[in-house]
Amino acid sequence: MKKISDGVWPVMLTPFKGKDQIDFNGLEELTEWYISQGVHGLFSACLSSEALEMGDASKLALVKRVVEIADGRIPVVAGVMGVVSRSKRVEMAHEVLEIGAAAAVLTFSDLVHQGASDEEWMREMDRHLNSLKGCPLGVYECPFPYHRMMTPELTDYVSDHPEFLFLKETSGRLPEMVRKRQAGKKFGLKVFSADALTILEAMKGGLNGFSGLQTNLWPALHVKLFACWQDNPLLAKRLQQFFIDYQWVLHRSYPASAKLYLKMAYDLNIETLSFLEDASVGLGDQEWISELVQAVHDFMGQINVHLPIGRCVSNYRMGR
């Protein structure tokens, strides 16, 4: 069984050529970029990947290529989300594991309708586990199509099943994160916060790492925090404040804006096409993203994290 490492797990973007058409050349460049930032694992076919806007065949092709590119350098977990039936969900989970994913990650809200009880959820998961017994799995508190959280009852259920190795936690509440982490220690469930605003305190509380949207902008800074929070508390506080100060970026045309940021900051050859909530960017976004690129670059220099700034920045500023 592949290892689920502590640390920073980006919720991967997907470069597109068109609707449900993956740009595989761009995907290779993007995957290599994540790895170059020092991340500890990758979460593919998730919400930021726009998996809900893709067909099942495209999701599988996406996971397969990411696993191939990673080539064992870091583990990859694969979302099994937006799949319409239990049989198809189980089939896809087996397929991504055969491809080489470290875990197949099921979405809490996929299993039952919004008004269903925890007991109904557990009965449905029992049916899944009848076909997935012994398979390495994860669970994801995805906010779509509705936000079902891991209640104490569901926490006990998940923690009692050693198949579950990975949890993406999205409550944004430290007591909830710590509660789930403590329960997860029973059989090794690792808990990764999606909340950049509290990540320092979450790691102090025992969480295993970070798997949030900011990993698509400055993953190296989250890697730095993961590495330094115990030995260099002053630097850790500076990093945490940076994550708070720049959280606003994620409320402006994400994930299209993140793709444009990567083009400008790192000269990645990816398009900004996005289909999640019809997000898009235009000429009016280039100015604020260019300013953001410079601000991040300057901050990295101040804390001695030196990464190249893309040559595209000056071109955008000159309106080319």
Q: For residue 213, give the CATH number of its domain.
A: 3.20.20.70
247 by Cβ neighbours in 10 Å (0-12 / 13-18 / 19+) ranks as: middle
Measured distance CA(262)–CA(310) in Å, rounded: 8
For the whole model, what pTM was predicted? 0.95
Structural domain total, the chain: 1
Per-residue pLDDT of 178-197, as tens digits, reads: 999 999 999 999 999 999 99
Task: Confirm whether 2 is domain-assigned.
Answer: no
Report if residue 1 sits inside a domain. no
Is 116 contained in some domain? Answer: yes
When pLDDT is cut at 50, 70 and 90, the band that residue 1 belongs to is: low
Domain assignment present for residue 40? The answer is yes
pLDDT tens, position by position, 82-111:
999 999 999 999 999 999 999 999 999 999
Q: Is residue 68 part of a domain?
A: yes
**What is the rounded distance in angstroms from the CA atom of residue 47 to the CA atom of residue 203?**
23
How far apart (Å, rounded) are the C-alpha atoms in residues 100 and 76? 8
Q: Does residue 237 lie in a domain region? A: yes
Mean pLDDT of the chain: 94
The band of 304, judged by pLDDT with boundaries at 50, 70 and 90, is confident
Domain that holds residue 51: 7-317
With beta carbons less than 8 A apart as the criterion, state whether 215 and 39 touch: yes
Q: Give tens-digit pLDDT for 21-40.
A: 999 999 999 999 999 999 99
